[in-house]
């Protein structure tokens, strides 16, 4: 079974929370960080600090957990995050360098390099 992730993104200083679900945590977080600018190039509200995540092997269980977290009120979610991540640290650096995401990162960057430089070949 494929892994499914339920994760919470937070805004740095106001602790506004967003609950999401994905099959690839690396790609989803990278995409949310890349799309923090409007059409004019000005930054928009930045809600991209990964403060909490859960990994599931069953997609149905992840769906029910995501719905449960989305219906939970925000102060309760903030308390849950504070118990596991008291300083509201961004967990992205830990995930991006972990072994299971390194291969995906390399493939993603190789595709980007190949697109920019036509002489670069993916082996």
**Tell me: the pLDDT tens digits for 67-93?**
999 999 999 999 999 999 998 888 888
Distance between CA atoms of residues 17 and 70, nearest Å: 10
Q: Any idea which residue has 């990162």 for tokens?
A: 105
Rg (CA), the chain: 16
> Using 50, 70 and 90 to split pLDDT, how confident is the model at 45?
low
The pLDDT, as a whole number, for residue 71 is 95
The DSSP secondary-structure symbol of 119 reads T
Joined together, the tokens standing for residue 68 give 């449960």
The pLDDT, as a whole number, for residue 104 is 61
The pLDDT, as a whole number, for residue 103 is 60
- Whole-model pTM over 0.85: no
> Using 50, 70 and 90 to split pLDDT, how confident is the model at 43?
low
> Using 50, 70 and 90 to split pLDDT, how confident is the model at 98?
low
CA triple 11-14-19, angle to 5 deg: 45
């Amino acid at each position: 079974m494929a892994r499914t992730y339920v994760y919470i993104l937070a805004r740095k200083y106001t602790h506004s929370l967003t609950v999401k679900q994905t099959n690839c945590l690396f790609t989803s977080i990278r995409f949310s960080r890349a799309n923090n600018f409007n059409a004019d190039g000005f930054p928009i509200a930045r809600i991209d600090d990964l403060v909490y995540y859960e990994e599931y092997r069953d997609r149905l269980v992840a769906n029910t957990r995501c719905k449960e977290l989305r219906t939970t009120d925000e102060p309760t979610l903030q308390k849950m995050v504070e118990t596991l991540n008291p300083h509201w640290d961004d967990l992205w650096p830990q995930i991006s360098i972990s072994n299971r995401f390194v291969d995906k990162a390399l493939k993603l960057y190789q595709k980007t390099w190949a697109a920019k430089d036509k002489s670069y070949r993916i082996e």
